[in-house]
Structure 1
Amino acid sequence: MTSTTTSHPGSVLESQAPGPLKPPGQRRAKDRRLGQGQLGEGRMAALLLSPTAVVLALVIAYPLISAIHQSLYADQTGIDADGFVTEGETFVGLGNYLNLLTGDAGDRFLNAFANTTFFTLTTVSLETILGLILALAMNRAFRGRSFLRASILIPWAVPTAVSGLLWRWIFQSDGIANNLLGSEILWTAEGAASKIAVIVAEVWKTAPFIGLLVLAGMQVIPEEVYEAAKIDGAGWWRQLGSITLPLVKPTLLVAVLFRLLDALRMFDLPFVLIGPGKDSVETLSMLAWDESNQLRYGSASAFAVILFLYVAVVAVVFVKVLGADVTGTKELRLARKKTRSQKAGPAS
């Protein structure tokens, strides 16, 4: 005897069947409400950020516009029609910028530009290598790790002017450096020795900055990843090249970018350690300061504008070419895309 199973309304099979699709009008209304909600969130975000935008406009936009305007003028002294001496500012257009490429001012500018680039590339490269080594050392579990982390932070916490005075005492003719080397090198005079002194002091002070940021990136790497690599037979070097460095790359790029922008504006350390007016260590910031100190505000503003453009170009190239996610926009886009897909899933 055979039995036949019939499906009745309200049975389990019918309850598991997908419901009817919503009409297009309801879907459009839902999308419209979602768009209005996102628009409201955008307006609220703009309202909350407006005080910060006003402050940035006052401390960044206004000085920049003022510097550009000042760079188009030059202080000149002359004699009027009555034979009296007159002083004032004269509009020279791009004259201050053209003077950067000719004569003694041009030679001094090119020297400062070369020094700035050399110090930036050298110090940031050494700081990146040393900072990565420090991060790897601080990330390992051993007795005294907390003391090591605190001691590494000390150079970064010391003010730059104090650090310059400290290293000036070390690099004196009868200082610790010459006693250890058994020589009498004039570290704070003109020449290659002064460049080495600035590089050593700068790397000592700022390498912990990169080390601490890279350490923060290492702390978020799951331990299960390393355990799986050990099971697969990967050694320490293989784990470093295949796991650690790729996963800390975003943090490392941001740290290197910050250091690049800071090194391009180098002023206080060579100023205190070596002194002003030294061609071997004069940077663009020091050159702009010297021009303003001589009351040549037009040329000083031109130097400052050139330095600003240099820093801006380096930042844009670094972000576009190497993909440093400074503002977190990549993560924000991924989060928004994930949210949209989750909202669109039930509707479809």
Structure 2
Amino acid sequence: MAPALLVLAVVIGYPIIRAIMLSFQGNRRLDPTTGVFVEGQFAGLENYLYWIGNRCMTASGEVASCPPGIIATDFWPAVRITIFFAVVTVALETVLGVIMALIMNGTFLGRGLVRAAVLIPWAIPTAVTAKLWQFMFAPQGVVNALLVDAGLDKPIAWTTDPAFARLAVIIADVWKTAPFMALLILAGLQMIPKDLYEAASIDGAGPWKRFTTITLPLVRPALLVAVLFRTLDALRMYDLPVIMISASSNSPTATISQLVVEDMRQGNFNSASALSTLIFLLIFTVAFILIKFLGAKPIEDR
């Protein structure tokens, strides 16, 4: 196992440790006397307070509230948007994934074709998906054309109105990743013995009774793993809202990952490392809760 562990330590361990080390250092500052950038020294929790408490370092070296326009002021709105996206998309994808998995698990002519068609959205790259839905949600796009034909007074500003922009991102994300949920749930459905359904039918159990007493309890492990994977993926959402709506940190669909990229583009690698560490802690906490208390175990105990 040593070679595999060594590769993981280099590829995963070193970047995490390096990011944590950078998060405790101050960003590079321009020395007014020499005109040269000076590497930041040990800053303690300064970078974390910058995000969590919107605390900025003034020119005199004092800590005060960040003025409007500083990227740190977008932190808590981005946290709320990220959690909102994660909760709504995962809930919708779970419901749709169960429905699609039940359909694909059935026995009918053309089942293989249906399975392939359902999985196509998941196979499309995220950037292509974002561009596809961006064209569809354009002011003169297909979606507005259909809504106007159905009696809507005027086209909807899907990419500029905050509420509709978030709805557009949710629709696109659910369309793309619900098949992934369906694939994992389908694997769990295929592990359920058919004899159980036959015995329940003989005992007089209807479709809904069989679903609630046989299907849901036995597919629960696979369902929880699917929810775990999708929740962790949704918490680090980046490319879909950036390509569809805007890459700006104050966009109505800005997520935490967008703030990290924007901060790095401004040359603030240390504060960006602090935010990356906060995202890591958030994802770790959610994963711990799902695994420890809800029983979402990607690997079964032996």
Give the TM-score normalised by the residue count of structure 1: 0.78
In 2, Cα distance between the equivalents of 1:237 and 1:190? 41
Q: Which runs of 5 or more residues in structure 2 are unaligned?
A: 55-65, 149-153
1:87 to 37, 42, 52: 37
2:2 to 47, 50, 57: 50
- Confirm or deny: 8 A CA contact 1:214 1:248 kept in the other structure: yes
- Confirm or deny: 8 A CA contact 2:48 2:274 kept in the other structure: yes
Specify the alignment match of 2:293 in structure 1: 321
Q: Secondary structure at the match of 1:322?
A: coil
Higher-Rg structure is: 1
- Confirm or deny: 8 A CA contact 2:237 2:257 kept in the other structure: yes
C-alpha displacement of 1:85: 2.1
Deviations 1:36-56 (A, max 9, x none): xxxxxxxxxxxxx22221111
Q: Secondary structure at the match of 2:179?
A: helix
The residue type paired with residue 37 of structure 2 is E
The residue type paired with residue 125 of structure 2 is P
- Confirm or deny: 8 A CA contact 1:171 1:188 kept in the other structure: yes
Instruction: Give the count of matched residue pairs.
Output: 279
Check if 1:111 corresponds to 2:77.
Answer: yes
Specify the alignment match of 1:258 in structure 2: 229
Aligned 1:94-105 pairs, distance under 5 A: 94-100=45-51, 101-102=53-54, 103=66, 104-105=70-71
Q: Secondary structure at the match of 1:227?
A: helix
Higher relative contact order (CA 8 A, sep 6+): 2
Deviations 1:273-329 (A, max 9, x none): 112115211111111000001111111111111000000000001101101121222
As a proportion of its length, which structure holds more helix?
1
2:28 to 75, 83, 89: 75
Aligned 1:113-262 pairs, distance under 5 A: 113-182=79-148, 183-262=154-233
- Confirm or deny: 8 A CA contact 1:195 1:280 kept in the other structure: yes
Specify the alignment match of 1:7 in structure 2: none
Deviations 1:62-120 (A, max 9, x none): 001111111112111223xxx42231222211101111112344431101111110100
Deviations 1:103-144 (A, max 9, x none): 344431101111110100010000000000001111111222
Task: Pick closer, same or farther for the CA change 1:110–1:89 going to 2, 3 Å.
Answer: same
- Confirm or deny: 8 A CA contact 2:71 2:263 kept in the other structure: no
The residue type paired with residue 28 of structure 2 is D
Query: RMSD in angstroms over aligned alpha carbons?
Result: 1.2
Give the TM-score normalised by the residue count of structure 2: 0.90
Q: Which runs of 5 or more residues in structure 1 are unaligned?
A: 1-48, 333-348
- Confirm or deny: 8 A CA contact 1:99 1:105 kept in the other structure: no
1:268 to 239, 242, 248: 239
Q: Percent identity?
A: 47
In 1, Cα distance between the equivalents of 2:78 and 2:45? 20
